[in-house]
Structure 1
Amino acid sequence: MSTEAPATILSRNMLLLMSLLSGLIVANNYYNQPLLALIAEDFNVKEAAVSKISVLTQLGYACGLLFIIPLGDKVMRKKLMLIDLLFVIAALLLMAYATQIWLLFIASFLIGVTSVIPQLFIPIAAELSTPQKKAANIGLVMSGLLLGILLSRFVGGVIGEYLGWRAVFMLAAGAMVLSWLLIYKLIPNLQPNFFGSYGSLMKSVWQLAKTQPKLRLAAFRGAMGFGAMSALFTTLVFHLEGAPFFAGAAIVGSFGLIGAVGALAAAFVGRLNKRFSMYHLILLCLSILLSSWLFIYFGGNTYIGLIIGVILIDLGLQSSHIMNQADYFSIPTKATSRLNTVYMVSYFIGGSLGTYLAAQAWQYGGWPAVCIVGSMFSILALVAHLIFSNKNKTLIH
């Protein structure tokens, strides 16, 4: 492996590489969303049953964040990434060749657990950045991650419709082999900063959550925002396959491509913190997130209404996500991987809850009920920001 990198150097090429790898790896968690109808048809089960695939992937991701990402402060991150990627490849191949629905559930959970490497890149970007460039550098790495999330739905939908859903996961496994080689050749070693036991490492994660109100508020905002977006994308495939759309997986996946417009715009939000306070930027982002549901509900039976809604929900969520991370990474500590663990575990628990509640809402109340669920998540994020940011003035930069 390569020698240790100078701690003060974070080149543009390294940022771009981490952005690319983040997108490739995080995509594993989202390929399944436009494929749920195809999987349900293949296994002859109800839509509500296959929605568990998305829930289990997100819960698995939360588990990986909780138990794997803190190790980024304790062991060599490059070695951790290379070992983890081997398990990612195995999980994707299990998904591709599963012949029983319960094997899909296991594979989905394992894909989530292991596809957490992007959350090692983001602390690296924060740790090696100057305070002036921290938000912008996080935004650049996040832009790759966000595009991976959104484009995975498009790629998954198109490949799934024409080559079958299993081909999506076979190709994803190939992409992980490429990622392994890139990390092995190009990512430098970074020395760990925690030298205690794994048990004490995990206790310190809990201690950070208890003692840092800025981190707790960011985690709640992130969880509620991701719950709102998960509610939309989990049920969008079912909404579009019925009247008046009767759309296939490729069209459903294209909404991920549309959402990339919002994600790309969000990547530039980090540059605005020189002109506006963190408080007002997050307030704006969460207001955009909530407003998206007006278009999703009232224009939900038209493509134009859904397109505007998807762009706005991605812009609002991803912008607030970048601001949340810039906010809690400003806490004066070297425990960057552990800070990220608290936030991202909360984030994906929120996503899992949004997925579950939206699936139930769809089953019993259809699209209007889904919109209520998504709106409530958005409202909770906005209200928490208004109430607790005002109580904790240190949160406002």
Structure 2
Amino acid sequence: MLLLAITCGAAVANIYYAQPLLPIIGQALGVPESTAGLLVTASQVGYAIALAFVVPLGDTLERRRLVSVLLGATAVTLTGAALAPGLSTLLAALALVGLTSAVAQIVVPMAASLADDRSRGSVVGTVMSGLLIGILLARSLAGLVAEFGGWRAVFGLAAVVMVVLAVVVRLVLPPVPAPEPDRSYGSLLRSVLALIRTDPVLRVRMGLGAVGMGCFSILWTAVSFLLAGAPYNYGPAVIGLFGLAGLAGAAAAPVAGKLADRGHSMRTVTLALGTLVVSWAALGFGGVSLIALLVGIVLLDLAQQSLQISHQSAIYSRHPDARSRVTTAFVVSVFFGGAIGSAAAAALYGAGGWVAVCVFGGVVAVVGLAVWLWARRRGIAMPAAV
């Protein structure tokens, strides 16, 4: 589980390295903030595309080999990002980084399949803790490396990490057979659509997953611009350290997993969505108060991680033989939400500043809470197996 958590975190970190670097990449390449923000969107779109067309292979291919091959491919794409001569090349390279880094979402259902029913939520929580830690430490590491070696060194170092992990996974993990090795690729993809069409609980969780990741991306795309300008005027190393404020969310992951194992998933989602709304109220004062900004970051990351674990525990319990495919359905929705959120945040910050970003994030969170309360009232939020 420790190796899977590390692999998951290191892989998903690749699509977040650019966030604290947006101001210096924009300056280096001579593009405005709103255009630099598209670098985050490119990696998230690539990630979402891979979720749709690559992650389902986890239900039909031997998983250890699939994971190690994708880690090696990620090393190649990161090298391309490090050597990119201009914005268009960097956009293409980061889209490919996102495409191959979706290996993280093959690791999560693989871990769920290795666990028994009584501990599945806890195991998913542990691996997802690795994922969140990877996301948050990515910003701190990227800022620190860029301070001394420039932004290109960040992607070069990440490429080396992927090579090491590809070798370790291949040597340490035993073979992990797929649940449906004889299923054709076309049938596999069609079955994802069938799952979405026939399961209203999955659809609700997909929508709420998009809301949570949308809020997460809105925050972490815009906050680098806020911290780089007045009144803070921080450099990339200090901006990256703000990712550590969100590590509290990693502590929430195992707790949320255990609550799901004990049948408290519904209450966890309600509380987490309420916390998400409150976080934006605190963040609204972040333009003038560092304490308010830090409180808002901690609350938002706590809420998002709790939501993610609760949603995935619910859909995995409903479809034990199709965990890679429900992961595809769920996380495609999640990361399209994230891509839309990051693009909107960059545009809103350029047009209306930090306050406009926080108002938008608050509206998204309120919509998510309203959808959840409606789903509970209609009886289509329960995670019971089908």
What interval of TM-score do these two structures reach, taking the shorter chain for normalisation? over 0.9
Q: CA deviation at 1:275?
A: 5.3
Name the structure 2 match of 1:178. 164
2:201 touches 2:380 (CA, 8 Å); kept in 1? no
Task: Note the alpha carbon deviations across 1:229-258, whole angstroms, 9 max, x for none.
Answer: 100110111111111111111111111111
Task: Give every structure 1 segment of 4 or more consecutive aligned residues whose post-TM-superposition deviation is greater than 6 Å.
Answer: none
The answer on 1:35 being equivalent to 2:21 is yes
Map 1:42-57 → 2, pairs under 5 A: 42-57=28-43
Distance 2:278 2:287 in 1: 14
Identify the match of residue 392 of structure 1 among 363, 367, 379: 379
Task: Note the alpha carbon deviations across 1:1-58, whole angstroms, 9 max, x for none.
Answer: xxxxxxxxxxxxxx11101111111111100000111101111111111111000100
Distance 1:371 1:363 in 2: 13
| Unaligned runs of at least 5 residues, structure 2 | none
Aligned length: 383
Distance 1:166 1:231 in 2: 24
Name the structure 1 match of 2:248. 261
Q: CA deviation at 1:393?
A: 5.2
| Unaligned runs of at least 5 residues, structure 1 | 1-14
Residue identity over aligned pairs, in percent, reads: 38
Identify the match of residue 345 of structure 2 among 358, 362, 376: 358
1:389 touches 1:396 (CA, 8 Å); kept in 2? no
SS of the residue aligned with 2:318?
coil
Letter in 2 for 1:271: K
**Higher mean C-alpha deviation, range 244-253 or range 274-283:** 274-283
Identify the match of residue 82 of structure 1 among 68, 72, 87: 68
Identify the match of residue 134 of structure 1 among 91, 106, 120: 120
Task: Note the alpha carbon deviations across 1:350-386, whole angstroms, 9 max, x for none.
Answer: 0001011111111111111101121122112111111
2:52 touches 2:329 (CA, 8 Å); kept in 1? yes
Map 1:272-287 → 2, pairs under 5 A: 272-273=259-260, 277-287=264-274
Identify the match of residue 325 of structure 1 among 309, 312, 335: 312
**Higher mean C-alpha deviation, range 121-130 or range 17-26:** 121-130
Q: CA deviation at 1:300?
A: 3.0
The answer on 1:252 being equivalent to 2:260 is no
Q: CA deviation at 1:129?
A: 1.6
Distance 1:42 1:259 in 2: 28
Identify the match of residue 25 of structure 1 among 11, 17, 20: 11
SS of the residue aligned with 1:267?
helix
Please, what TM-score do these two structures have when normalized by structure 1? 0.94
Name the structure 1 match of 2:185. 198
2:63 touches 2:110 (CA, 8 Å); kept in 1? no
**Higher mean C-alpha deviation, range 50-59 or range 79-88:** 79-88
Map 1:203-218 → 2, pairs under 5 A: 203-218=190-205
The answer on 1:70 being equivalent to 2:19 is no
The answer on 1:376 being equivalent to 2:363 is yes
Distance 2:5 2:119 in 1: 16
Map 1:86-235 → 2, pairs under 5 A: 86-194=72-180, 195-235=182-222
Letter in 2 for 1:182: V
Task: Note the alpha carbon deviations across 1:169-214, whole angstroms, 9 max, x for none.
Answer: 1100000011111111112212222223211110001101111111
Distance 2:347 2:358 in 1: 12
Q: CA deviation at 1:273?
A: 3.3
Distance 2:210 2:77 in 1: 26
Map 1:230-241 → 2, pairs under 5 A: 230-241=217-228
Name the structure 2 match of 1:296. 283
| Closer, same or farther: CA 35–197 of 1 in aligned 2, 3 Å | same
Letter in 2 for 1:173: A
Task: Note the alpha carbon deviations across 1:74-131, whole angstroms, 9 max, x for none.
Answer: 1111221222122211110010011111100000100000001121111122222222
Q: CA deviation at 1:333?
A: 3.6
**Higher mean C-alpha deviation, range 291-300 or range 144-153:** 291-300
Distance 2:21 2:285 in 1: 26
RMSD after superposition: 1.3
Distance 2:379 2:204 in 1: 10
Identify the match of residue 295 of structure 2 among 279, 295, 308: 308
